[in-house]
Amino acid sequence: MAKKTSNRASSASKDGATATVKKTPRAKSPGTKARSGSTSTTKKVSSSVELKPKTSKSKVLSPSSITSYPTAVKYLLNRPDFERMRVIRDLESFKLDRMRALLAGLGDPHEQVRTIHIAGTVGKGSTSAMVGAMLHECGYAVGSYTSPHLTDLRERVCIDGEMISHATFVVLMKKIAEVAEGLDFEPTFFEIMTALAFMYFAEEAVDIAVIEAGLGGRLDCTNVIKPEAIAITRIALDHERILGNTLVDIAREKAGIFKKDVPCLTFEQDPEVDAVFQNAAEECGAPLQIVNRDIEFSNRFCSTNELGPHTRVCLYTDLSRLEHLPVPLAGEHQAPNCGLALGLMDLLKRAGFKCPDDRLTSGLAKTRMIGRMQLAWKSPRILVDGAHNPESIGALMRCVGAHLPYDSMVCIFGCCQDKNVDEMLNRVNLGADKIIFTRAQGNPRAADPADLQRAFTERSGKMSQVADTIPEAIELASRAVSREDLICVTGSFYLVGETLKHLDKMR
């Protein structure tokens, strides 16, 4: 299938490359003086407030007001946003009939695009990026719909690594607003963004689109598609207030994306999770394969002069013989994600896509991601990573220890208050020599940095400080490190996104 000609406007690329810089970052206005040391006061990190989405349309902008990119974004941000709100499990707000009604008014663009659907707790972004890079190398026009974004809302909707243009975003948002006016419900932020992505991919006639589920799977508004293939990445405890309090509960929600006769792929996990997937696949008639059980797969950690420390994988099927491929993303935890990506490519071969092994190898090597193990500043070295739950924080600490030499590490940490904060702090404590607690100003769910410090000092004697803003935290960390040390910013995508924006201003 040849790559189609597109009329897309040129736009910034979603790329992980970072320019070499010479100057040291400094806050323009440090703001409130930092508070250091420990405290004996015990205070639990604030619990989340239960909010339901608004239903009144009185504050919603009219379609005629969408005349520019800023007004299109304003319209979108005025909708209920479950990424930013702490919500109860309100099933009325997650009915797929809502999404189907919105898409029907737009001409059902999701039915005009071939897709891959990826769900899971951790590894969705990495798996999606590797699949997209390999498909692009094979000559296909590839759409990608991901969440959340880091610095630009348009990162969520890309074709061949290029973000949707401002002009196209405005045109599509206005069309959606016109349809939304005639509905008897108020579409949410994520419903609108998902509809916009489907419209864009359909209008640009992409060959295939990689679609990430936003939250859960069964009731996620991306679950209106019948894809070519489905993959579920690792299941871990996250978003328990919405998805359930156990791995089994969460696995059931993720398995809700299985479809009759659509091949599904995952890898060996907790036996209870595997059983959930097996039962769900049998119930709906979905052929399920498990990497490293039904598909021959292996991985090993090694080091070479050319690549340094890295992981290599092998995957064998009757159609694919992929041997000793370097995983393009750092960390042994990326090996299963790479196995899933390669397994998905094998499934696409069976669906008629032409994906020779040599193109898969070269495409995989070109995978790039921003905000994941990204060295965003050279001196002092500042690493940013969007790890945002205990499992991903633990993987990050192991990855940094294996891949980056340093004398000591100062961690700038901030997270959402509805996460498993205690376990996240335990994992950060394993790698960091000092922690500076802060918060992303644009995150309404951010935990109070002072509360985080109190919780941390109850379990650790390590040095810690509190900074009111990210620029202040970077200034404090920069003063505390030498040439051989490392600053690591992690805890939430909000924190990483605002850090990258700040560093951009400092260049």
Q: Tell which residue, 60, 239, 83, has the closest CA to residue 153.
A: 83
Cβ neighbours of residue 279 closer than 8 Å, sequence gap 6 or more: none
CA atoms within 13 A on the CB side of 300: 6
Secondary-structure breakdown of the chain: helix, strand, coil percentages, each rounded to the nearest 5: 40, 20, 45
**List of domains in the chain:** 35-48+371-506 (3.90.190.20), 63-365 (3.40.1190.10)
According to the model, what pLDDT value does residue 239 have?
52
Identify how many contiguous H helices and E strands the chain contains and give both numbers: 15, 18
Q: Please report, in tens digits, the pLDDT of each residue of the chain (507 residues total).
A: 444 444 454 433 333 333 333 333 433 333 333 434 433 333 334 333 333 444 444 466 899 999 999 999 999 999 877 655 545 445 445 689 999 999 999 999 999 999 999 999 999 999 999 999 999 999 999 999 999 999 999 999 999 999 999 999 999 999 999 999 999 999 999 999 999 999 999 999 999 999 999 887 888 999 999 999 999 999 987 654 556 568 999 999 999 999 999 999 999 999 999 999 999 999 999 999 999 999 999 999 988 888 888 999 999 999 999 999 999 999 889 999 999 999 999 999 999 999 999 999 999 999 999 999 999 999 999 999 999 999 999 999 999 998 999 999 999 999 999 889 999 999 999 999 999 999 999 888 899 999 999 999 998 889 999 999 999 999 999 999 999 999 999 999 999 999 999 999 988
- Please report the beta strands in 156-244, taking only residues with DSSP state E, as ranges in sequence order: 157-159, 162-163, 208-212, 229-232
Burial class (CB in 10 A: 0-12, 13-18, 19+), 15: exposed
CA atoms within 13 A on the CB side of 287: 7
According to the model, what pLDDT value does residue 82 have?
63
* SS3 category, 316: strand
pTM: 0.85
User: What is d(CA 151, CA 149) in angstroms, rounded to the nearest whole number?
Assistant: 6
User: What is d(CA 365, CA 387) in angstroms, rounded to the nearest whole number?
Assistant: 23
According to the model, what pLDDT value does residue 291 have?
95
Q: Quick check: 497 and 440 in contact, CB under 8 A?
A: yes
According to the model, what pLDDT value does residue 12 have?
38
According to the model, what pLDDT value does residue 413 have?
98
According to the model, what pLDDT value does residue 309 have?
86
How, if at all, do strands 296-304 and 288-291 pair?
A: unpaired
